[in-house]
């Protein structure tokens, strides 16, 4: 439960924020937090089901796609692209953060597995980077729109 609160929900909010920025859906805090919490709770619930590893990720991506399609007023192609891109960025940052951690630490992720707090802190590194990418992309797109006029 603590992993859901301290890692799952922030990760869900971060991926939702990035997907909103890519889709150019206005960033409203209530919508982003609500969708992020729904994604995190669904991911946790899917992990409890007896389904093969990775299927829960596909199901969460599908839920994000449905939500983005609804919020973008039915723009399916933009919703699909933003869902896939934001998920891909999350996967890349998650994958890159583990070897990076091994470079700067004497501990391996397997050695940290029994310690929930250390796993949460390690997991939150890529979440912070995801928020940073969403912020920078939003700033870039805002300036690009501003310069267009």
pLDDT at 141 over 80: yes
pLDDT digits (tens, 9 = 90+) for 33-50: 999 999 999 998 998 899
Share of the chain above pLDDT 70, in %: 83
Q: Which domain holds residue 108?
A: 2-148
> For residues 120 and 7, is the Cβ–Cβ distance under 8 A?
yes
DSSP states along 122-140:
HHHHHHHHHHHHHHHHHHH
pLDDT at 131 (0 to 100): 94
pLDDT at 148 (0 to 100): 61
pLDDT at 80 over 80: yes
Locate 29 and state its tokens: 């805090």
Computed over every residue of the chain, the mean pLDDT equals: 86
The number of domains in the chain is 1
Global pTM reads 0.86
> For residues 100 and 108, is the Cβ–Cβ distance under 8 A?
no
pLDDT digits (tens, 9 = 90+) for 101-132: 677 766 666 776 676 776 677 778 888 999 99
């Amino acid at each position: 439960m603590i992993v859901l609160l301290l890692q799952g929900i922030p990760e869900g909010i971060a991926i939702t924020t990035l997907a909103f920025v890519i889709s150019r859906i206005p960033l409203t805090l209530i919508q982003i937090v609500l969708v992020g919490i729904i994604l995190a709770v669904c991911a946790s619930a899917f992990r409890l089901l007896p389904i093969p590893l990775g299927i829960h990720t596909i199901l969460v991506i599908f839920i994000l796609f449905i939500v983005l399609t609804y919020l973008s007023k039915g723009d399916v192609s933009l919703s699909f692209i933003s869902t896939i891109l934001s998920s891909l960025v999350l996967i890349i940052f998650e994958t890159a953060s583990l070897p990076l951690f091994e470079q700067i630490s004497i501990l391996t992720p397997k050695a940290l597995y029994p310690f929930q707090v250390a796993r949460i802190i390690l997991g939150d590194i890529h979440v912070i980077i995801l928020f940073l990418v969403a912020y920078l992309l939003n700033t870039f797109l805002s300036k690009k729109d501003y310069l267009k006029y």
